[in-house]
Amino acid sequence: MTTAPALEAPALLEMSDIDKSFPGVHALRQVGLQIRPGEVLALLGENGAGKTTLIKVLGGAYRPDAGTIRIDGRSVAITRPTDAQRAGVAIIYQEFNLVPHLSARENIFLGREDSRGGFVRRRDERRRARDLFARIGVAIDPETPCARLTVAQQQVVEIAKALAADARIIVMDEPSAALTIQEVERLFEIIGDLKRHGMGVIYISHRLEEVFRVADRVMVMRDGSHVATRPVGELTRQDMIEMMVGRKIENEFPKQRAQLGAERLRVQGLKRGDRVRDVSFSVRSGEVVTLTGLVGAGRTETARLIFGADRMESGTVSLDGRRLRLRSPRDAMASGIGLLTEDRRNQGLVLAHSARENFGLPNLGGLSALGFVRGRAERDAFAGFIRSLKIKIPHQDELAGNLSGGNQQKVVLAKWLQQDCKVIIFDEPTRGIDVGAKYEIYLLMNDLAAAGKAILMVSSELPEVLGMSDRILVMHDGRITGEITDPAGATQEQILELAMG
Amino acid sequence: MPNARPAIRRFLANYGMVLILVLLAAYYSWATWKEQYPGGEEAAAGVSEAVGDELGPGTRVLVVAQEGARAREFAAAAAAALRDRGMNVVGVVLGDPHDLRTELERRAASPDKPAAVVATREAAEWRLMQVLPERFPSLAKVRVFSPRSYWWPDFLKRSNLLAIADRIVVIAVIAIGMTMVIITGGIDLSVGSLIALSAVVSTLLVREFAGASDATAFGMVLCCLAAVLACGLMGAFSGVMVTAFSIPPFIGTLAMMLIASGLAFILAGGQSIYQVPASIDWLGRGTSLGGIPNTVTLMVVLYAGAHVLMTRTVLGRYIYAVGGNVEAARLSGVPVRWVILFVYAVCGLLAGVGGVVQASQLQSGAPTYGLMYELYVIAAVVVGGTSLGGGQGRILGTLIGAFIIAVIQNGMNLTGVESYTQKVVLGAVILGAVLLDMLKKRRST
C-alpha cells in the first residue's frame, strides 16, 4: 500500500505480500490486508478475484508461496486449520460446518469438549453455551439439534463456536445469502456487538448495500491483486463496481422494454401445502414478471409447481391458452417451459460431469438418432453457445464444478436456450454471481424478452427486482399480496411493505 | 515439458488399471518361466518334421515309448505323422528298456534295420539309448530323435489363459450390470443368489419340461432364456422397490438376495439337478469361430454392447447423470425412475446369464452356486475404477478389474500360494484399488 492510513491502534491482523500460485493460475499476487481491533473490513471482488484464496490462506487451508501473517504484531506460521484456530482466527463459510444431528451445544464445543476423565461435563458446557447465546443476544436452546434450527440460528451457532474458541478475527463469507431481511438486521446487530468487544471482522458479500451498512473500510480485489482499500465513506456504489470489474459501467441494470405480445403463461389457483396457498397470475410474451417476497413466502415453490418439479394439489397452468398436464419436469419441458434453479450446484448441474454433458442432458432428444448421441451435433451446438453467451471455459469437457458461478449459470442457461423454451423461469438468476457476469445475464434476459419469450423471475435482490422487471408480484405466506405495474416509479420500501403482509 | 505431466496423469487416470494388469501378467510370466516338454500330437508333429527334414522320405523309423497313456498317445501320433510324411515306420516299441533291447537285438540281425529312432523324452534318456553304438555296432549310424523342449511361462500357456477366462466369465458378465447399478449410485447384493436361482430354474425346466437328459438344443435354449428372464424380473422388482418406495438399494437387494437364494433351494428341493444332457456344456465349455471358447465370445459381445450403450447412447448419458446428481437430472427432464429400473433389470438379467453359464460349465444346477459372488463382482467393479459414490466409472475398466482379480488368483495358484493367503492378498488388492481412487480424486480437487 502506498498511502498507509494512520493507525491509532496496532493492527490486529496484518497479512502482507501474500503470493499463491496453482498450476496455471497465479491466484494471489503480493496481496496485503490489515484489520484493526473493533473494525469491519468488507472484502469485495468478482468471483475468481482471489478473495476465497486469501481467506483460505488465513484459515490454514492453503499454504502461501510467499508472504507473512502477523497477529498483534507477532509473526505467526499458519500451515494447518488448527494453527489458525490457535491464533484466534475463525472462518464461517457459506456452507456451515455443523453436524446436523448434534445439538447446538455439542457443535459449539466439538473438538474442544469440556471433559474430565473422558466424560463430557455437560452442565458446564450448557451454561457456557447459554452465556454465549446471551452475549450474542439470541434465545436458542443449546440442546436443539442443529438440523432443527433455522439458517439464521445455525449461523449464530457458528458465531458462538468462534467465540467459544476465543477467536478475535472472524471471517464471514456471504453471511446474508440465505437470511431473511429481518435476520440480516439481527446479524448486523451481532456484528456491531463483536466490534464493541474489540474483535476484527472480515465481511465478504456481493450485496453492496450491506457493505455500506456494516463496513468501516472496503478492500477491493481483482484478478488476484489488491486494487484499493478505502474507508467506506469515501466510496460510492458506482466506485466499488468499477473497481471490481476494472472498467466503467454506466448502468447496473440495462433494462430494455420489449414489445409485449399475447398472454403466454397463465397460472390459476395454484396450491401445494401451506407454502403455496392460492397463486394466480399471467405473463405475456416479451414480458419480465418478477415474483418477490421474503424467504419462505413460497416463490421458489410456485416456480417448481409451474415446472412440474413438485405435484400441485390443485390449480392449472396454461401455455398459449392450452392447459398443461404437468406430472414431471419432462412434461413441462415438452410443453416449452424451462427452469434455472436457485441452487445451481445441487439442482442445476452435475458438477462432476463435463459442461458439455450438462448442456446436452435435457437436449439429447434433439441431439440423438435412434438412441445414439450425435456427438458432433452436440459439440457444435454447445460451441455456438460458448461463443454467443461468452462462456469462459478452457474446453468443452471441463468439469462443470470447476467453473465460476457466472459461467455455471451460463451453462444452465444454454441448456434451456437450446430447448427453445417459450417460458423461462429464472430463480435467483444472479445469486453468487459477480458483477460482470450479472450484467451479461441481464442483457440475455433482454434478448429473450425481445424474442417473444415470457420470463418469470424469482428474486430477493430488490435493486434487481426494481431494475429488471416489467411487472412485480409480491408474495407473502403462499399468496400474492401485491402487484406493482410500474417498477420504475416504485421503491424498495413499497415492496417490503407488501412483503410483510 | 509443461504439458507432458498432465498428459501422463490423464493416461494413468484412464488406463492405470491396464498398466497394472500388464505388470501382473509380466510378473507371473516371469515367475512361471520354465522348460516345457511337449507331449502328444504337438510333440509328435514336431519330431516327425525334424526326421523328415534331416533324413528325407522313405527313412526307416522305429518309434519307442515307455508305458503310460501319454506315451502311448505320443507313439501313435508319431507313427501316424511319420507315415504322413512318407516315412517307413518299421516298428513301435511300447514298454521298458528290456523290451527295447529285445527288439533291437532282433533288428540288428535282420536286414530291415531302422535308420532313425523316434523316442519320447523319457525313453531317449534310457541308458540303452545312450550306449547304442557300443552295444549294437550295426546300429551305430542310427539317429535318435526326441521332442525338443522349449522355454515358456506356464502362465501364458493357452490352456492356462483359457482357464482364466473360464474362471472369470460369470463374474465379468454380471459385473457389467453391477457397474451400471453402481454408476447410478446404487448397489445390487442379490446377484450371487440370482446365479443359483438361474442355474436351478434352467436345469429344472430342462428336467421337467424339455425331456431331461434327452432334451433338444432348442428346448434347452428356451429353458435358459426363461431362467434369464425370471432373474431379470427379480432385478426389475428390486428396481421398483428402490424407485417407487425409496428403499435404500443396500437393504432392498439384501432382501432380494435372501428371497432368491431361498427360492433356489425350494425349487431344487435342496439338491443338485443333474438330469440334463451333457451337450448343455456347449455354452460354458464349447468353442466355435475357430477354437474361441463360447464364453469368451459371449463376454466380448456383452462388453462391446455395454460399452457402446454407456458411451454413445442417450440412455448411457442418463445413467451417468442420475448417479452424478439425481435432482439435477430430474430437473433436466431425465426419466429418473425408468433409468434406475432399467439398470436393476439389466443387472438381474446378466446375473441370470451368469447362472446359465455356471450351469453349463458344471452340467448341473444347484442352489449353492454363486455363493459370495456378489462380493467378487463388486470387487471387480471397484478395482476397475468405478466410484461407489455414483456418476463415474467405465465398463471397460470393470473388464480390466475382473481380469486383475482373475490373474492374481490364477497366478497365486500357479506359484503355489495357499488359498488362505490368497484371500488376504485379494482383500489388500481391493483396498489398494479404492485408495488409488481416493488419491486420484484428492489430486483432481
Question: pLDDT by residue (tens digit) across A396-411?
Answer: 999 998 888 888 999 9
Q: Are the beta carbons of B329 and A373 separated by less than 8 Å?
A: no
Q: Quick one: pLDDT at residue B14?
A: 65
Query: 3-state SS of B84-123?
Result: HCCCEEEEEEECCHHHHHHHHHHHHHCCCCCCEEEECHHH
Q: Do A299 and A407 share a structural domain?
A: no
Contact A242, A249 (CB under 8 A): yes
Q: Give the pLDDT band (50/70/90) at residue B5.
A: low
Q: Quick one: pLDDT at residue A2?
A: 37
Q: Which residue from A353, A358, A373 is facing B314, i.e. has the nearest CB? A: A373
Q: Quick one: pLDDT at residue A276?
A: 93
Percent of chain B with pLDDT strictly greater than 70:
95
Q: Do A294 and A375 share a structural domain?
A: no
Q: Which of B81, B115, B148 is the last residue of a domain?
A: B148
Q: Do A296 and A261 share a structural domain?
A: yes
Domain presence at residue B3: no
Instruction: Please tell me if residue B14 touches chain A, with a CB cutoff of 8 Å.
Output: no
Q: Which of B132, B148, B164 is the last residue of a domain?
A: B148
Q: Which residue from B325, B330, B334 is facing A351, i.e. has the nearest CB? A: B325
Q: Do B159 and B137 share a structural domain?
A: no
Domain presence at residue B31: no
Q: Do A366 and A324 share a structural domain?
A: no
Pick from A349, A353, A420 the residue to mutate for testing the B interface (most B CBs within 10 Å).
A353
Chain B residue numbers touching A365 (CB-CB < 8 A): 314
Task: Supply the CATH number for residue B322's domain.
Answer: 1.10.3470
Task: Round to whole Å and give the CA distance between A350 and A341.
Answer: 13
Q: Do A199 and A115 share a structural domain?
A: yes
Q: Do B216 and B68 share a structural domain?
A: no
Q: Do A205 and A321 share a structural domain?
A: no
CB pairs < 8 Å spanning A and B: 79
Does residue B269 sit in helix, strand or coil?
coil
Task: Round to whole Å and give the CA distance between B88 and B79.
Answer: 9
Total structural domains in chain A?
3
Q: Is the pLDDT of residue B324 over 70?
A: yes
Chain A residue numbers touching B334 (CB-CB < 8 A): 330, 361-362
Task: Supply the CATH number for residue B130's domain.
Answer: 3.40.50.2300
Angle between helices B158-183 and B373-383 (to 10 degrees): 80
Domain presence at residue A355: yes
What is the residue range of B53's domain?
A: 40-148
Q: Quick one: pLDDT at residue B1?
A: 39
Total structural domains in chain B?
2
Domain presence at residue B32: no
Q: Do A27 and A142 share a structural domain?
A: yes
Q: Do B271 and B223 share a structural domain?
A: yes
Q: Is the pLDDT of residue B93 over 90?
A: no
Q: Which ranges constitute the DSSP H helices of A26-150?
A: 51-59, 81-86, 104-108, 122-136
Which of these, B435, B323, B306, B431, lies nearest to B379 by C-alpha position?
B431
Length of chain A counted residue by residue: 501
Does residue B228 sit in helix, strand or coil?
helix
Domain presence at residue A1: no
Higher pLDDT, B68 or A275: A275
Q: How far is B329 from chain A (nearest CA, A)?
A: 8
Contact B203, B358 (CB under 8 A): no
Q: Are the beta carbons of A371 and B333 separated by less than 8 Å?
A: no
Q: Quick one: pLDDT at residue A94?
A: 77
Task: Round to whole Å and give the CA distance between A477 and A481.
Answer: 9
Per-residue pLDDT of B301-314, as tens digits, reads 999 999 999 999 99
Task: Round to whole Å and give the CA distance between B345 and B385.
Answer: 23
Task: Round to whole Å and give the CA distance between A84 and A167.
Answer: 9
CB-CB neighbours of A17 under 10 Å: 13
Task: Round to whole Å and give the CA distance between A263 and A265.
Answer: 6
Q: Do B413 and B315 share a structural domain?
A: yes
Q: Which residue from A333, A350, A375 is facing B325, i.e. has the nearest CB? A: A350
Q: Do B68 and B203 share a structural domain?
A: no
Q: Do B424 and B355 share a structural domain?
A: yes
Listing DSSP states for A207-270 in one string gives -HHHHHHH-SEEEEEETTEEEEEEEGGG--HHHHHHHHHTS--S-SS---PPPP-SEEEEEEEE
CB-CB neighbours of B118 under 10 Å: 31
Joined together, the cell numbers standing for residue A170 give 472472524
Give residue A300's identity as a one-letter amino acid code: T
Chain A residue numbers touching B332 (CB-CB < 8 A): 329, 361-362, 415
CA A217 from centroid of its chain's CA atoms = 22
Q: Which residue from A347, A351, A371 is facing B331, i.e. has the nearest CB? A: A347
Q: Do A230 and A255 share a structural domain?
A: no
What is the residue range of A220's domain?
A: 13-245
Q: Do A98 and A83 share a structural domain?
A: yes
Listing DSSP states for A332-398 in one string gives HHHHTEEEE-S-IIIII--TTSBHHHHHHGGGTTTTEETTEE-HHHHHHHHHHHHHHTT---SSTTS
Q: Give me the interface pTM, i.e. the ipTM.
A: 0.75
Q: Are the beta carbons of B327 and A361 separated by less than 8 Å?
A: no
Q: Do A219 and A363 share a structural domain?
A: no
Averaged pLDDT in 10-residue chunks for chain A of 501 residues: 48 92 82 93 84 90 91 89 89 83 89 79 88 84 88 86 89 82 85 91 88 93 90 89 78 85 94 92 95 86 94 93 92 93 87 92 89 92 92 89 86 90 92 81 92 93 90 92 89 84 69
Q: Give the pLDDT band (50/70/90) at residue B443.
A: low
Domain presence at residue B80: yes
Q: Are the beta carbons of B332 and A309 separated by less than 8 Å?
A: no
Q: Quick one: pLDDT at residue A220?
A: 93
Instruction: Please tell me if residue B442 touches chain A, with a CB cutoff of 8 Å.
Output: no
Task: Supply the CATH number for residue A134's domain.
Answer: 3.40.50.300
Domain presence at residue B34: no
CB-CB neighbours of B304 under 10 Å: 12
Contact A138, A104 (CB under 8 A): no
Kindly report which listed range (A290-294, B289-293, B344-348, B371-375) carries the lowest average pLDDT score. B289-293
Q: Do A406 and A259 share a structural domain?
A: no
CA B245 from centroid of its chain's CA atoms = 39
Q: Do B144 and B119 share a structural domain?
A: yes
Q: Which of B148, B181, B213 is the last residue of a domain?
A: B148
